[in-house]
Chains A and B, each alone.
Chain A
């Protein structure tokens, strides 16, 4: 039997959490140990996920590293794990961003430190689980399981309106995911299977059922990704969450929505997705323009990045529902880029917040002189978010619009306005923070990057440039998958 690498990947963080739970003794020492245990666990998980990446066969469009066991005997539900070129990157990214999350809360989280790191570890388990489960019910367990640690992270270590935000986050996403559960159960009732590989390859659902299923899945992922007009939980959750919470939320949790669209809407329900594509694309365009305008008006930096995330996810859905190779490719790249860039931008805000304890855009200024290293780092991520050629943001947005243009040029033209607006609000943010004169004396006393912070930003910086200059490294993994996704879909469209 093959080494069950995916199960091991899932269990390691859980073991880390259990280990932290057993730590006893003086509070300060326990806190210190908890941080180190969490960090090492995340590092090991990340290293293992790199093993996964290096052993991946990009030419194979099927699922790899498959594991299968009986889970739910009388019903036909199995424990099936596996990754393809699409999900493998999210597994690695989950581990990477968890490392960033642990490092960025090294000094800023001071209360209930062991519990905090346990929550992060459990979160990591759940995230890896979501991206590597191939049984609908199993996937749902992880998908919903993500809510629990995040609920605690926002609710315990969040800001002043943390309770409202954590409730909103939990209930909003739970409502969406429970409709997804109903859809999954319908699939089971219809086909007698919840095995994603079998469903994709062997079963074909009639269109009238597909449309209902699409509605349920769409609601769930539209909330998760989030799309306008069900995005309202996101700004609240981001503003109140601690930096690490925002990093994971923007970096990984939103991608579950995009991943879900890809797997369940496009891949599993191709006809219904085609049918609904214009609606989704219009919603995406509205989201891009509307949330960009809203972002332009924000005074709170986190809120601004939160709205910009909605806009960026709009490019993902725009590309996905174009049903062209470029569009799907672009959507994937936007997601991967946004994983790194939004996480990094939240880390930048965390950097400033740790020093001045405010997220008001106007409270800073002149950082280019005061903390020059930081200003350079932030510039990279700002430009990547704007989509400057040479950074990761450009390739994805360009391809996604190129794909969308082929099928829906008018909608794409509107969406393109969002690119300009994106540049406007990001540059406004950067100008207010880094140029001009410092708003207060406190700003002048800000210290530049510490080695710990360099350690957080350096890998993200490297990835942003790598992805911008040579995206093929990443995109070559899923080309075969995209091809196989599009082939049946086109059959439906052409006839």
Chain B
């Protein structure tokens, strides 16, 4: 077969995304109702990419020299990135309308960002990785500032951009150091250099820079500072996007780097990862206690969850990798659901901005309140919800790998975190609404309701039948590492 065609088959999901993004851009520019067309095209593109991903054989195909790989693990991660993107599109429709920014650029940016994430996940070369990360990051900066009229949104975008640029610089610096030390940037050849003997100073330094940059991208403490501000400033559906897709991609990059080319430097990165995981757990639990804004609360909650992701990466091995993939999938479902609940509330005329806006919600909107409560318990990891399954699996892997103290820390911070999740429940169920709260008009949204229902149902289904997600995750995890 033609070598180009061979590459193209491996590269098919990305190609679809690329074509879709360009098509949406053209359609959005030239058609009358550009937004609607671009949005429809985005849905079709994602669906197409998803179908290709689901039907493609999970062989470890490599293309473009050795710079791009499609394995079962990348496939799994990409499927969940697509799911997060489709979820974001479904969440955003009404919210963008309310903010008067239903512009064609939005679906295009989501598409491009998804393309960047897929490139990140599949990259087998540090420069390819860098290009993927930059494509993703640049679109995220624009998305953060997407609500042009809002000062907060502009501030979020700027903050994200300045700090993000710094972290990209760090990443590039780390890559160049690694290149200087080993003379290669390909994963395949890096393994040989790094696994042989003790890591030298340059490799250690490079590792520190690369890890710091990636920790920034997935908002792990102590590189999390941007997270609450950006989460709060960006429009809510965009925050939902930040919470889900980039975390999947970032965690996958980290996992494949550390389990792959950098596996030889385990002694170095294990310490860094341990500390980052522990800090994320602590910051995510304690800093959230004082938050009054729902999105800021969820930002810290994300940081806590990232702590669990890092625990799984640190644990490594078959169990740890499978636990990470499971955690990511369930986390995407729960987070989309939680943001779906907030957006549905806003669509129905609730403020749902500050925590106190939720007061007495169970009486005004019993069903949404119930769904939100279930998702809060799922985020807290309380059974019988899927959040428990994922947390338990990560704890199991962590203990299997011998990191007992980290597991204990995860447990203790879970209790602290439970406190603020319970606070949401308390506001909704135990408190009464202030008298001045008038019943606003209701504009229900069928697509938001459907999304919310689906996520809540999955939260229970994945608890009762965890194999449905752990099975594929385990199969995918086998393709990680060399």
Contacts and interface: CB of A to CB of B under 8 A. Distances in A.
A75 B393 CA distance: 9
Contact of A74 (B404, B412, B471): B471
B469 to A, nearest CB: 11
Best-surrounded residue of B400, B411, B414 (most CB of chain A within 10 A): B411
Interface stretch (A166-174, A224-232, A365-373, A401-409): A166-174
Contacts of B243: none
B396 A188 contact: yes
A296 interface: no
B288 to A, nearest CB: 15
Contact of B418 (A166, A170, A181): A170
A71 interface: yes
Contacts of A72: 466-467, 470
A402 to B, nearest CB: 40
Interface in A117-160: 137, 140-142, 144-145, 147-148, 151-152, 155-156
A185 B407 contact: yes
Given A75-B396, A163-B430, A185-B399, A70 B377 contact: no
A147 B408 CA distance: 21
Taking chain B's interface residues, is the majority helix, strand, or loop, or is none over half, making it mixed?
A: helix
Nearest to B400: A189
A181 B392 contact: yes
Contacts of A1: none
Interface stretch (B207-215, B257-265, B293-301, B382-390): B382-390
Contact of A155 (B407, B419, B426, B470): B426
B322 interface: yes
Given A155-B429, A163-B430, A171-B419, A74 B382 contact: no
Given A147-B382, A148-B382, A163 B399 contact: no
A118 to B, nearest CB: 10
A54 to B, nearest CB: 30
B450 interface: no
B378 to A, nearest CB: 12
Contacts of B411: 178-179, 181-182
A302 interface: no
A182 B429 contact: no
Nearest to B367: A21
A73 interface: yes
A382 B182 CA distance: 81
Contact of B399 (A71, A155, A182): A182
Nearest to A176: B415
A155 B396 contact: no
Nearest to A216: B408
B395 interface: yes
Contacts of B422: 151, 167, 170-171
Interface residues on A, range: 20 to 34
A186 interface: yes
B166 to A, nearest CB: 37
A214 to B, nearest CB: 16
A145 B383 contact: yes
Contacts of A51: none
A145 B467 contact: no
Given A182-B399, A182-B411, A163 B470 contact: no
Given A75-B396, A188-B396, A152 B414 contact: no
A5 B426 CA distance: 36
A175 interface: yes
A183 B210 CA distance: 36
B430 A141 contact: no
Nearest to A163: B430
Interface string B410-437: 0110110011001001100110000000
A178 B384 contact: no
B444 to A, nearest CB: 18
A174 B415 contact: yes
Given A148-B377, A167-B419, A74 B383 contact: no
A142 B404 CA distance: 24
A173 to B, nearest CB: 10
A137 B466 CA distance: 13
A303 interface: no
Best-surrounded residue of B412, B414, B422 (most CB of chain A within 10 A): B422
A335 B408 CA distance: 32
A140 B470 CA distance: 19
B426 A163 contact: yes
A137 B467 CA distance: 15
Contacts of B407: 182, 185
Contact of B382 (A71, A144, A155, A156): A144
A174 B413 CA distance: 11
A73 B471 contact: yes
Contacts of A71: 466-467
B474 interface: yes
B427 to A, nearest CB: 10
A421 to B, nearest CB: 35
A255 interface: no
Contacts of B400: 189
A189 B415 contact: no
Contacts of B395: 181-182, 185
A70 B467 contact: yes
Contacts of B415: 171, 174-175, 178
A179 B466 CA distance: 22
Contacts of B383: 140-142, 144-145
B430 A162 contact: yes
A71 B468 CA distance: 10
B73 to A, nearest CB: 15
Contact of B384 (A141, A166, A189): A141
A240 B408 CA distance: 32
Interface in B345-401: 377, 382-384, 388, 392-393, 395-396, 399-400
Contacts of B471: 73-74
Contacts of B419: 167, 171
Interface string B439-482: 00000000000000000000000010011001100100000000
A141 to B, nearest CB: 4
Contacts of A175: 412, 415
Given A163-B426, A185-B399, A178 B414 contact: yes
Contacts of A156: 429-430
Given A163-B426, A166-B430, A73 B384 contact: no
Contacts of A148: 377, 382
A77 to B, nearest CB: 9
B39 to A, nearest CB: 35
Contacts of A75: 393, 396, 470
A163 B422 CA distance: 10
A140 B411 CA distance: 14
A181 B388 CA distance: 11
Contacts of B384: 141, 145
Contacts of B414: 178
Nearest to B429: A156
A152 B369 CA distance: 13
Contacts of A171: 415, 418-419, 422
A76 to B, nearest CB: 11
A285 B407 CA distance: 34
Contacts of B393: 75
A254 to B, nearest CB: 20
Contacts of A166: 426, 430
A146 to B, nearest CB: 10
Contacts of B466: 71-72
Nearest to B414: A178
10 contacts: A70-B467, A73-B467, A73-B471, A141-B463, A170-B422, A171-B415, A171-B418, A171-B419, A178-B414, A185-B392
Closest 6 CB pairs of A and B: A141-B383, A73-B467, A178-B411, A74-B474, A155-B430, A175-B415
Given A141-B383, A171-B422, 16 more contacts: A72-B467, A74-B322, A74-B474, A141-B384, A144-B382, A155-B426, A155-B429, A167-B419, A167-B422, A167-B426, A178-B412, A179-B408, A181-B411, A185-B392, A185-B396, A185-B407
